[in-house]
């Protein structure tokens, strides 16, 4: 005799540290989507998973059930090898913007489905929407055309891509169950598997501005995601990268687009260029395209040309001025020394307070809001030198943002003449972590 499955039995078993089988997981995800399992019950199950975790076979079944809740896109007719990148989210993380056109400029196809920011982490779609006319909604015909030429798009996932994740993510967000390794891994990988790419490079962020603040947790998340991808037949590798301080100088929406364009034109902050090139090298290698120096297409204009075509094909005007903030304020160093900390979380919260991020999914963002970071860990500063510029369309968030930023930085008393970390001698202190902390391939 087969007993009917019930949410209560499943929640109880998970609460008590037991293991769920494939049938139970597939049933509960499908019943939740159909409205047969209530939000309260799913919340209880998510909290039980948050505390007791999931083993490999449960995460695998949970991911497969979320993929099966929608459609898997078929990119089969694309003439180029498809490869995507996904970041677990950080502060100033604009890497997708220069990366997709850079990788496409070498002959790969990048079918990037991106998300919006929530809380202190930015969202790629929010950033790109500060370009006048740019549209994140593409149908499958447009996607196919763009993968052929210019070879990339950055778009919102259609409602068919892992709809269970959409519903579960909204519930996790309001029940404090986001930062769980099995739930993050299955959420990200269900969308990437459904997107139909052949290969995927993960940028797993680690540090105060990331979901994973500890290196062991970031490594465990990376391993889980690589395994899930491999099980689904994708080629996957992961870089674990530093998110203790913001990436680049610009944190916000339009300002991050501006900084990405600098990178695409062969300039921009060193860390943004370094990470863009490291991820491009990984992606091209998985796509079977052998390139010694991915940075060459940033310097020779080919990546920028691809960007222009991609933005135009998505309705945007790549040459139009980006929105400009009506209000600004600058905060200055109060002593001489070497910057020893610029805390990513605090800077992200400041940008959010200024209007760059949203509190609820339905909120809109201020394209002009953000923070420009003038001095980064390892930089020597003198008293009175600008540390941050705050930008917004409205004055209402300035006090809260100043409070976050006032607590975000520290200056150590070394001589202002101490060499910077990248030119550092053995005797000089190092205040910045390596940008690329580790690489995980299995
Ligand atoms: N990004 C996702 O898509 N899902 C998560 O759970 C966390 C980050």
Q: Is the pLDDT at 418 greater than 60, yes or no?
A: no
Paired sense of beta strands 235-242 and 199-206, if any: parallel
Q: Is the CB of 190 under 6 A from ligand 1?
A: no
Catalytic residue, chosen from 80, 85, 86, 309, is: 86
- % of the chain exceeding 90 in pLDDT: 86
Dihedral angle over CA of 14, 17, 22, 25, nearest 10: 20
Q: Is the pLDDT at 428 greater than 60, yes or no?
A: no
Q: Is the CB of 123 under 6 A from ligand 1?
A: no
> Has 30 been annotated as catalytic?
no
Considering only CA atoms, which of 127, 102, 120, 65 is closest in space to residue 201? 102
Q: Is the pLDDT at 416 greater than 70, yes or no?
A: no
Q: Is the CB of 178 under 6 A from ligand 1?
A: yes
Q: Is the CB of 226 under 6 A from ligand 1?
A: no
Q: What share of the chain is helix, strand, coil (3-state, %, to 5)?
A: 40, 15, 45
Catalytic residue, chosen from 85, 166, 172, 192, is: 172
> Has 172 been annotated as catalytic?
yes
pLDDT at residue 361, rounded to an integer: 72
Q: Is the CB of 187 under 6 A from ligand 1?
A: yes
The verdict on whether omega for the bond into residue 150 sits within 30 degrees of 0, i.e. cis, is yes
User: Mean pLDDT throughout 369-375?
Assistant: 98
Residue 104: pLDDT band with limits 50, 70, 90 = very high
pLDDT at residue 425, rounded to an integer: 42
Q: How many Å lie between the centroid of ligand 1 and the Cα of residue 40?
A: 21
pLDDT at residue 358, rounded to an integer: 84
pLDDT at residue 366, rounded to an integer: 96
**CA of 89, closest atom in ligand 1:** 8
pLDDT at residue 173, rounded to an integer: 84
Q: Is the CB of 170 under 6 A from ligand 1?
A: no
User: Mean pLDDT throughout 188-209?
Assistant: 96
User: Mean pLDDT throughout 111-120?
Assistant: 86
User: Mean pLDDT throughout 174-191?
Assistant: 94
- pLDDT tens-digit series, residues 374-388: 999 999 999 999 999
pLDDT at residue 174, rounded to an integer: 86
- % of the chain exceeding 70 in pLDDT: 95
pLDDT at residue 427, rounded to an integer: 45
- pLDDT tens-digit series, residues 38-97: 999 999 999 999 999 999 999 999 999 999 999 998 887 888 999 999 999 999 999 999
Q: How many Å lie between the centroid of ligand 1 and the Cα of residue 178?
A: 7
Measuring from atom 6 of ligand 1, which residue has the nearest CA? Answer: 184
Pocket test for ligand 1, best of 59, 66, 88 (most atoms within 8 A of CB): 88
User: Mean pLDDT throughout 157-185?
Assistant: 93
Q: Is the pLDDT at 422 greater than 50, yes or no?
A: no
Alpha-carbon distance of 306 to 5, in angstroms, equals 52
> Has 86 been annotated as catalytic?
yes
**Beta carbons within 10 angstroms of residue 163's beta carbon:** 18
Alpha-carbon distance of 135 to 129, in angstroms, equals 7
Alpha-carbon distance of 423 to 338, in angstroms, equals 14
Alpha-carbon distance of 20 to 9, in angstroms, equals 10
- pLDDT tens-digit series, residues 255-308: 999 999 999 999 999 999 999 999 999 999 999 999 999 999 999 999 999 999
Paired sense of beta strands 235-242 and 370-373, if any: unpaired
Q: Is the pLDDT at 413 greater than 90, yes or no?
A: no
Residue 148's Cα: distance from chain center in Å? 25
Measuring from atom 2 of ligand 1, which residue has the nearest CA? Answer: 188
Q: How many Å lie between the centroid of ligand 1 and the Cα of residue 88?
A: 7
The mean pLDDT value of the chain amounts to: 93
Q: Is the pLDDT at 135 greater than 80, yes or no?
A: yes
Model confidence, pTM: 0.94
User: Mean pLDDT throughout 340-364?
Assistant: 91
What stretch of H or E contains 61? helix 56-68
Beta bridge partners of 140: none
C-alpha separations of 136 from 131, 157, 356, 422 in Å = 11, 9, 18, 38
> Has 376 been annotated as catalytic?
no
pLDDT at residue 172, rounded to an integer: 92
Q: Is the CB of 89 under 6 A from ligand 1?
A: yes
């Amino acid at each position: 005799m087969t007993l009917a499955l019930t949410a209560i039995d499943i929640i109880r078993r998970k609460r008590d540290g037991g293991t769920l089988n494939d049938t139970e997981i597939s049933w509960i995800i499908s019943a939740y989507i159909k409205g047969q399992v209530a939000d309260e019950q799913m919340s209880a199950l998510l909290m039980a998973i948050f505390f007791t975790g999931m083993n490999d076979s449960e995460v695998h079944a949970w991911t497969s059930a979320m993929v099966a809740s929608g459609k898997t896109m078929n990119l089969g007719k694309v003439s180029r090898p498809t490869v995507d990148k996904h970041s677990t989210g950080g502060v100033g993380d604009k890497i997708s913007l220069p990366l997709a056109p850079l990788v496409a400029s070498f002959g790969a196809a990048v079918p990037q489905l991106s998300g919006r920011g929530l809380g202190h982490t930015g969202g790629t779609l929010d950033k790109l929407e500060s370009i006048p006319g740019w549209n994140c909604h593409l149908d499958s015909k447009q996607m196919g055309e763009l993968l052929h030429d210019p070879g990339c798009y950055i778009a919102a996932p259609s409602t068919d891509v892992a709809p269970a994740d959409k519903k579960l993510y909204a519930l996790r967000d309001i029940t404090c169950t986001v930062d769980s390794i099995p739930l993050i891994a299955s959420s990200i990988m269900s969308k990437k598997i459904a997107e139909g790419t052949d290969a995927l490079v993960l940028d797993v962020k680690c540090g105060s501005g990331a979901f994973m603040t500890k290196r062991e947790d970031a490594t465990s998340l990376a391993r889980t995601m690589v395994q899930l991808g491999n099980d689904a037949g994708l080629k996957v590798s992961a870089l674990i990268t530093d998110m203790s301080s913001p990436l680049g100088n610009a944190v916000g929406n339009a300002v991050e687009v501006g900084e990405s364009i600098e990178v695409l034109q062969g300039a921009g902050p060193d860390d943004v260029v370094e990470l863009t090139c490291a991820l491009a090298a990984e992606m091209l290698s998985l796509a079977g395209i052998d390139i010694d120096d991915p940075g060459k297409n940033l310097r020779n204009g080919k990546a920028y040309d691809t960007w222009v075509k991609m933005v135009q094909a998505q309705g945007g005007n790549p040459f139009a001025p980006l929105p400009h903030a009506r209000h600004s304020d600058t905060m200055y160093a109060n002593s001489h020394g070497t910057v020893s900390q610029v805390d990513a979380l605090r800077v992200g919260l400041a940008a959010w307070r200024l209007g760059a991020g949203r509190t609820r999914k339905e909120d809109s963002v201020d394209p002009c809001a953000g923070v420009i970071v003038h001095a980064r860990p390892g930089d020597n500063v003198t008293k009175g030198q600008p540390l941050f510029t705050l930008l917004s369309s409205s004055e209402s968030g300035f006090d809260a943002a100043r409070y976050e930023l006032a607590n975000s930085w520290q200056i150590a008393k070394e001589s202002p003449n101490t060499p910077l970390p990248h030119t550092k001698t053995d005797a000089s202190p190092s205040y910045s972590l390596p940008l690329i902390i580790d690489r995980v391939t299995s």
